Amino acid sequence: MKTVLLRVKGAKYYHAEELIGSGDIFEGAPVILKPEPDNKYDKNAVAIYSNTDEMIGHISKDIAAKSD
């Protein structure tokens, strides 16, 4: 398994603080990355989900665009 440090964008809109408070996400927790090619704001968007399938936010545009 590969470990990568990423800044999560939009976390406040997806209530990431509540997930942290509940223990659903924590430093070092595994996450799921899901491409969102139909995202109306960015066709390269990549959403970040917790391992309990709760949306946390997105990878920043500058990094997501490089994952083509």
- pTM of the full structure: 0.78
Query: What confidence tens digit (pLDDT) does each residue in 18-61 have?
Result: 888 888 788 888 889 999 999 998 888 999 999 889 999 999 87
3 lies in some domain: no
57 lies in some domain: yes
Residue 32: beta bridge partners? 49
Residue 46 sits in a domain whose CATH number is 3.30.70.2330
Q: Which residues contact 41 (CB under 8 A, 6 or more apart)?
A: none
SS (H, E, C) 8-55: EECHHHHCHHHHHHHCCCCCCCCEEEEECCCCCCCCCCEEEEECCCCE
The residue segments making up the domain with residue 33 are 8-67
